[in-house]
Amino acid sequence: MPRKAFYVLVIGLLCGMFTLRATANEVVNADDLNPVIILGNDNDVTYTDCTGEKIESPTAGSEYLFANGNIIAKVSEDLKYVEVQELSTLYEICYIHVKGGDAYHQYYVPMEVSHIVNLQSPPNKGGNVPEISHFTIFWKLKEVVPPDPKFSLTIHKVYMDYVLEGAIFRLEGMGANIVSPPSNEDGSIVFTNLDKGTYTLTEITAPTGYMLLNSPITVTVEEDVAITVTNYPSDEPPDTAAEDYLWWWVTAALLAFVGLILLNKGGRD
């Protein structure tokens, strides 16, 4: 790679890493949350599923912890602004109230916002921002959505009492398109990590000496599933030990029959 191209690549990677980091730690200005001015006090205000913690008469330059230490609030030195930040992914902020004077600001905090600066009470009649008399943070435990369960699909390839090696299937459905390894010495193929849903199995390679399946198989997966799939011999059946054993008995029977005929003939002579 030419040196100039290498430098361009490195600079591009560094810029990408910086952008990702900046996005993950983005700071939102409180004005961007479009606060609502509400006259009076918020003493009786509640929100469904949210817990409110109020700081009365905060101290300038102080820090306060909420939600068992998972949210931090920092009061400015002039006692006019609050900075709030989530310290973990366990809790999320629902609303923030900041009061000073005769009204308070109600800030609704979207779930994706975790760091807010310049929270303040509404300006007074002269347009000045008053000192904060109290502020309240409403928070809740983040809802953890469990991952969807995954399931397995096992295929057993057989003909009568024989297990069949070497079959290969394609599994399609629910976004999957998987080609299996050949069925093993137990005649088994296992597909794992499958979503709940309906799948189509198509045999793309049959065991040696056996016919390919004529049509695909539809399987509904709602739990771990095991199915048995039968193949039938082609014009050249596989050379198996069981068939060799059968031919041995046929040959022995023929020889015994011929021996009986010869014995009867010798007796007549």
Which portions of the chain are predicted below pLDDT 70? 1-25, 236-250, 252, 256-259, 262-269
Domains of the chain by range and CATH? 22-141 (no CATH), 151-230 (2.60.40.10)
Cβ neighbours around 214 below 10 Å, total: 6
Per-residue pLDDT at 254: 76
Q: What is the pLDDT of residues 9-19, one digit of tens each?
A: 444 544 444 33
Per-residue pLDDT at 262: 66
Q: Would the pTM of this model clear 0.75, i.e. be above it?
A: no
Per-residue pLDDT at 3: 55
Per-residue pLDDT at 21: 37
Q: What is the pLDDT of residues 17-33, one digit of tens each?
A: 433 333 345 899 999 99
Per-residue pLDDT at 269: 57
- In sequence order, which residues have a C-beta less than 8 Å from that of residue 191 and are 6 or more positions away? 152, 153, 154, 155, 171, 178, 180
For tokens 């809790």, the residue is 91
